[in-house]
Amino acid sequence: MRTGRIVGVEALARWHSPRRGVVYPDYFIPRVERSDATLKLMTGWTLREALHQARAWQLDGHDLSVAVNLSPRSVLDTDLVADIGRLLSEAQAPPTLIQLELTETAVFGIADPERVSEVLRELSDMGLLLALDDFGTGYSSLSRLRDLPINKVKIDKSFVLRMDERPNDMLIVRSVIALAKSLGLRVVAEGVERDAVWRQLTDLGCDVAQGNYLSPPLPPDELIPWVRQWEELYEEAHRMATELLERRFGTPDRRSGIDDRRIIWPHQGARILPRRGRAR
């Protein structure tokens, strides 16, 4: 959020049924999870598609990580680590192109915590990024959170959507950000859909945001043109805001580029730039 750059995307599963139209994962994922074999096939297919797409973008000059959600049942699959290693080799992709996301239930609610810890450490040792999804809705043990190789926590959208209108939600978000940073973790806010929420998260020091405020879900061939447009608009907005402030307050002690949005203006203290509009 400090730079305005697009750093990654999340893989979203949709079933385009000839009879039903678009079928969302809330309907078909629970049915997939009834069968270990079916779940294994779908997990493998999703990871393969994500890796090949991320690698294609990288070869085209765009380093975007792709986040893929793992089912709690997949964490207990004894072949998971080997399967991911094979997929990485097939795609000739660096492991940092993939971010594996597990819910608090998957990490803390499974009856075999030692097995979960072992799998996460093996995945981390491979160089994969690990994120704790839907954070705040489960029952995390802080001692285990401290000891596990988690890179990021993602604040559940139920706390983010209306945090500008609900003081208790804002306090929860503030506390999660502070907790995560004290543990050396990056913070991602899910479900950002409004400008006021974006601004609050920026002021609270949130690292990354995702949601319809930036863009609705897009097919891969439309994503890169959108990324270019967003970053061009952001850079132009930053330049215009800097010029306006310079006209009003004079030249700052140091100039701020897209990678450093805090400017110290004479007699004005710190100001945060810019006031951004919605990307379309």
3 state DSSP class of 115: helix
- Residue-wise pLDDT tens digits, 222-245: 999 999 898 888 778 777 877 887
Same domain, 186 and 234: no
Residues 244, 114 share a domain: no
Distance, CA of 216 to CA of 126 (rounded, Å): 32
pLDDT of residue 138: 64
Q: Give exposure, 126-165, as e/b (b: 16+ Cβ within 10 Å).
A: eebbbbbbbbbebebeeeebeebebebbbbbbebbbebbe
Q: What is the pLDDT of residue 3?
A: 84
Whether the pTM exceeds 0.85: the reply is no
Tally the domains of the chain.
2
Answer whether residue 279 is part of any domain: no
Dist CA 280 CA 278 (whole Å): 6
Q: Using CA atoms, how far apart are residues 112 and 119, in angstroms rounded to an integer? A: 11
Do 154 and 258 belong to one domain? no
Cα gap 55→70, rounded to integer Å: 20
Cα angle for residues 124, 125, 129 (degrees, 5° grid): 30
Cβ neighbours of 204 (radius 10 Å): 17
Which of 178, 201, 219 lies at the terminal end of a domain, its last residue?
219
* Amino acid identity, position 150: I
Which range marks the domain in which residue 196 is found? Answer: 8-219
Q: Could you tell me the sign of the dihedral formed by the alpha carbons of 158, 142, 118, 114, in that order?
A: negative
Residue-wise pLDDT tens digits, 13-59: 888 889 999 998 889 999 999 999 999 999 999 999 999 999 999 99
Q: Is 21 exposed, middle or buried (0-12, 13-18, 19+ CB in 10 A)?
A: exposed
What pLDDT does 272 receive? 36
Q: Are residues 61 and 85 in the same domain?
A: yes
Same domain, 215 and 242: no
CATH of the domain at 68: 3.20.20.450
In a domain, 241, yes or no: yes
Same domain for 98 and 141? Answer: yes
Please list the ranges in the chain whose pLDDT falls under 70: 111, 138-141, 251-280
Q: Answer yes or no: is 236 within a domain.
A: yes
pLDDT for the residue 276: 42
Residue 235 has a pLDDT of: 78
Q: In 10 A of CB 249, how many CB atoms?
A: 14
Residue at 278 is within a domain: no
Residues 143 and 36 in one domain: yes
Instruction: Determine, yes or no, domain membership for 92.
Output: yes
- Distance between CA atoms of 42 and 131, rounded to whole angstroms? 20
